Structure 1
Amino acid sequence: MAARNVSKISAEGKHAVDQSKLHVTSVFSKTGAQAIVDYPVDEDEEILIALGYKQEFKRDFTWIESFSVSFSVLGLLPSIASTLGYNLAYSGQAGSVWGWVVAGAAIQAVAFGMAELCSSMPTAGGLYYASAVLAPEGWGPLASWIVGWSNFLGFTTGPCSVNYALAAMILAVASINNPDYTPETWHLYLTFLFLLIIEGCLTMNSTKFLGYMNIVGTIVNVLVLIIFIIWLPVASVNKPKFNDNHIVWAELQNGTEWPTGFAFLMGFLSVIWTISGYDAPFHLSEECSNANIAGPRAIVMTAQLGLYLGWAIILVIAYTVKDVSDVVAGPYGQPMASLCLQVLGKKAGLAMFCLNTIAQFFVGQGCTIVSSRVVFAYSRDGAIPGSRWWSRVNSRTKTPVNSVWFVLTIAALLGLLMFASPVAISAVFSIGVIGQYTAFVTPLGLKLFFARDKFRPGPWNLGRFSKPVGAIAVAWLCLIVPVLCFPAVKGKDLNRLTMNYTCLIYFGTMMLSLIYYAVDARKWFKGPRVNIEHLIHVDTLEGQIQGSGSDGVEGIGEKAGNKQE
């Protein structure tokens, strides 16, 4: 996509960027500062400058390539395969079908609210940036710190959980082919490490290469999804081929030791984990043309396709599965493998599962791309230890190569949890969900309750539906986060192997980050850090210009005030 309108330079060779005319909600609204540019910029770059950042990436993503990354992260069939044991085990076929409708509809409110934020603040920092701007006066740094670390946890656990599932799928294929082979935990870990290395080598390439690769990934995911939806009902070896409507729609089962209604809520994990890649265009907005419109469109498209296509997959599973217990607790440790073998027979089932495994690779690739951009954005603002390394953009590829390998190193360390117990490594799935949703909904809540006139809608906005959508999103967060922390069993059945460690790992890590903030970071962390070359305070005399260097936003405002005096 060609660059949009190029700003003309004033007679003096420079001009102030007026964020109020660009439909952006900027950190400058709190400081009274404006950016100064003295070279020609297109509209995308001018919007980014109005938000306080210089252009460091190449904008080689079009809207379809931005969407392809988010759809690859979504990875409908492999994502459902990774978490199929949760919804079927907790609430059966009917719980899976209705759970997808209820949870999927609530997720749309989060996605639409996020799209509105993206249009107003199209920067890689995304939700972290929005929280800093929309928080009440004086609370911006703390709000952005909490959201930043939650999003950091959510994204850095993504490559671990996705590639752990992919490694388990690969070894399940080997087990099906060779019944005498018994995978060991160290086999699983080495396969996992090999996948991380491959994804790192691919992700460190240029934005243009990543765009083409994810278009391929999207095509693969769509083809595999279509094959699954058609193949299972048509080629089922079972008689009758389909389950009774009562089982699919009305017979809510309970595979937990909690009340049936609560078991139904616990099954939402599969839906939440699957419909979760829609925020990728937000974090890729500095690499996308026409970002304040293309980004929101890609977010909404991803969430909507996830809702409808995902439900089609769930319906196929609900109608064709014959023995839920065999699928959930099958001999291969992979519910989707057991399902395919049960419905299609060994050869056809193995072929279908292999296709699903290929699609899962592109999910891991997309997660690695987006995770590296999140780490880059927060490092650019000095929020992560070692920020000066992770915020570097490679001069040849124009991508954050250091961040890529940092994310994958964290994934490799988290992967060691598989040696503790299956429950311990499974907690990574819930941690990712809680971290993401805390980051997703916090800025929506701040906009709903505190922003008032501070929020300036972008060209893509919800209009009068903005507040109702935000209210639904916040209510959904308050409901689902506590649910995700519960184990499936209680009482005498609860032990170290059946415990849900989500609370310990997520909230323990967040507690450490808050202690770090209270002891030290609050003294120097001021939220998004402006890195453009020149600023001017709107109250100073016309033409007064000062360099911003790497000072924080609040520091810049203070300097401007001093100069005015």
Structure 2
Amino acid sequence: MNREDQASPPGVGLADPEDSQLLAKMGYKQELKRQYSTVQVFAIAFSIMGLVPSIASTLAFSLPAGPVGMGWFAASIFIFIVGLAMSDLASAMPTAGGLYWWTHYFADERYKKPLSFLIGYSNTLGLIGGICSVDYTLSLMILSCVSISRDSDWSASRGVIYAVYVGVILLHGLSGALTGRLMPKIQTACIYINIAMVIATVVALPVGKATRGESLNSGSYVFSHLDNETEWPSGWVFMLAWLSPIWSIGSFDSCVHMSEEAMHAAKAVPLGIMFSAGSACVLGFLVLAVIAATMNPNVSATIGSTFGQPMAQIYYDALGKNGALGFMTVLCIIQFLIGLSLIVAASRQSWAFSRDGALPFSTFFRHVSNRIQFQPVRMICGLVVISIVLGLLCLINSAAATALFSLFVASNYLSWGMPIFCRLVWGQERFIPGEFYTGRFSKAIGCVAVVYLAFGVVLSMFPTTGPNPSASDINYTIVINGFVWVGCMSYYFLFARRWYTGPRMTVDEARVADSDTIAYKTESSAGITTASGKEE
């Protein structure tokens, strides 16, 4: 044991006894410091969503269908239903590795180990894909500002894009590791910054158009006009436009990963999920309606913007060069905060998976630095290295880089759906509701959520340009996610099944024995045991 560990024994002064006891019932001792309020748990998901920059990042998915494709509302309703189903589980069993833990807890005895192993890796790599896609988009945003300042006479090479990307990743890693004490306050500030950006965009775009003597697009254009800039049938183009809200509202599971740092987690985590998904549904619809009302009716001109970002073109058309530069600069700041929040949430999931011995070098990466505010610093550094390596995809072509978006969507959707599915099929009788519960509607909500998530995974596999894509337009999602899922299962059956036992009990057994009756069970190498250590 090093001096750092001796200086502050794990669990001392880190949490309220009620939170520590609930975590102990799931077999874990308190190692991270609980310092996030309900508002701050909501803030980390809301920050990662970063509505305006996320919408800007994904306009390329919705614009090919025109204003109708930017409707947002239908997909966001289904996403909200998924949030309801996840909230039921998060309130009952709040832990940083919730998705794979719940899968292991609810799945049939024959499948719990391989399924939890699959979901743990899928969720971890999906979050890493999210880090890569956010920071790649931030790199494009930064460089689009340079392009605007030079009146679109300059465009960045792929080498320059990658160099900026690496710099952003390194800055995120350093900030995530060293700002543990400030992070809750940073997340609170993110709420105000994001809401201010929504208001500024909603007000400035129509005012800018009016100032330039241009009229807004009609209501019929905004809410009923359908374009088709692809080779797909128009109906399917509308469905592919769902990829924009799917990606943008794809981070409320971050509340789950912050469970072991949340105060009164059984209440804070589900409320964080609901508030973030609900606010994104309403505010995202408002922003996109205003964008549709103010953008150039010639959709292809916006898609093919010389600035490299459709949103940059929309700001430029409404506000001119200086206005566009101002808004894009603020978007870059918010996008940076998105990446910072995401690397924090991803490090908690990865750390939890290492705590259960599932990742390579788990003993090294599961370490929590007491000296640096109880942060999983080694895990953050590991994520930085992996993200830099995966970012090399952007050197191939834009389609390969775009696959990072789909890795985030497909892998996370599988991870969200599996524990809900396992609960419905095998574990309904084992489910004990927490402080948040949807009651008699819980099972129906879970069924709708599973069907929608399965559809979302399939949707993310389609090329967005048409059924016969060129080499530069092909969708690599099936290749990348197929490699992740097949590789994970191959690794499990060839090697990991010999030593992976699922969630491992780390809590002091004497301490748990003094707590209330334990309902949850964890599996150890000796057999199925209750959290008090008594074998059944």
* Residue of structure 1 in register with 2:248 after alignment: 274
* Residue of structure 1 in register with 2:402 after alignment: 426
* Residue of structure 1 in register with 2:9 after alignment: none
In the aligned structure 1, how far is the partner of 2:474 from the partner of 2:239?
18
Deviation at 1:524, TM superposition (A): 1.5
* Residue of structure 1 in register with 2:163 after alignment: 190
Kept in 2, the 8 Å contact 1:61–1:207? The answer is no
2:154 matched to 1:181? Answer: yes
In the aligned structure 1, how far is the partner of 2:529 from the partner of 2:130?
39
Deviation at 1:563, TM superposition (A): 8.4
* Residue of structure 2 in register with 1:45 after alignment: 20
- TM-score, normalization by structure 1: 0.87
One of 425, 444, 447 as aligned partner of 1:471 = 447
One of 186, 189, 193 as aligned partner of 1:216 = 189
2:125 matched to 1:153? Answer: yes
Kept in 2, the 8 Å contact 1:58–1:207? The answer is no
**AA aligned opposite 2:375:** T
* Residue of structure 1 in register with 2:332 after alignment: 357
* Residue of structure 2 in register with 1:443 after alignment: 419
* Residue of structure 2 in register with 1:555 after alignment: 526
Kept in 2, the 8 Å contact 1:173–1:350? The answer is yes
* Residue of structure 1 in register with 2:502 after alignment: 527
One of 31, 40, 44 as aligned partner of 1:56 = 31
* Residue of structure 2 in register with 1:229 after alignment: 202
Please identify runs of 4+ aligned residues in structure 1 that moved more than 4 A.
237-240, 535-538, 558-565
In the aligned structure 2, how far is the partner of 1:102 from the partner of 1:564?
48
In the aligned structure 1, how far is the partner of 2:261 from the partner of 2:358?
21
CA deviation profile, 1:340-398 (whole Å, cap 9, x unmatched): 10122222122122221211111111111101111101011111111112111012120
- TM-score, normalization by structure 2: 0.91
**AA aligned opposite 2:482:** F
Deviation at 1:250, TM superposition (A): 1.7
Kept in 2, the 8 Å contact 1:159–1:408? The answer is no
Give 1 or 2 for the bigger CA radius of gyration: 1
* Residue of structure 1 in register with 2:109 after alignment: 137
Structure 1 gap segments, 5+ residues each: 1-36, 544-550
2:53 matched to 1:78? Answer: yes
- Which deviates further from its counterpart, 173-182 or 134-143? 173-182
One of 91, 98, 110 as aligned partner of 1:126 = 98
Q: Percent identity?
A: 33
Kept in 2, the 8 Å contact 1:60–1:207? The answer is no
Change (3 A) 1:561 1:394: closer
Kept in 1, the 8 Å contact 2:144–2:309? The answer is yes
Kept in 1, the 8 Å contact 2:43–2:188? The answer is yes
Change (3 A) 1:356 1:559: closer
CA deviation profile, 1:62-110 (whole Å, cap 9, x unmatched): 1111111111101000000001111012x1111211xx11100000111
In the aligned structure 1, how far is the partner of 2:81 from the partner of 2:97?
21
CA deviation profile, 1:237-259 (whole Å, cap 9, x unmatched): 56542112222222222222121
Show the 5 A alignment for 1:506-525: 506-525=481-500
2:139 matched to 1:167? Answer: yes
* Residue of structure 2 in register with 1:308 after alignment: 282
Change (3 A) 1:426 1:527: same
Kept in 2, the 8 Å contact 1:206–1:398? The answer is no
Kept in 1, the 8 Å contact 2:140–2:161? The answer is yes
Kept in 2, the 8 Å contact 1:109–1:472? The answer is yes
Structure 2 gap segments, 5+ residues each: 1-11, 516-521
In the aligned structure 1, how far is the partner of 2:193 from the partner of 2:83?
24
Deviation at 1:452, TM superposition (A): 2.3
Deviation at 1:217, TM superposition (A): 2.2
Kept in 1, the 8 Å contact 2:49–2:338? The answer is yes
* Residue of structure 1 in register with 2:295 after alignment: 321
In the aligned structure 2, how far is the partner of 1:562 from the partner of 1:507?
38
* Residue of structure 1 in register with 2:376 after alignment: 400
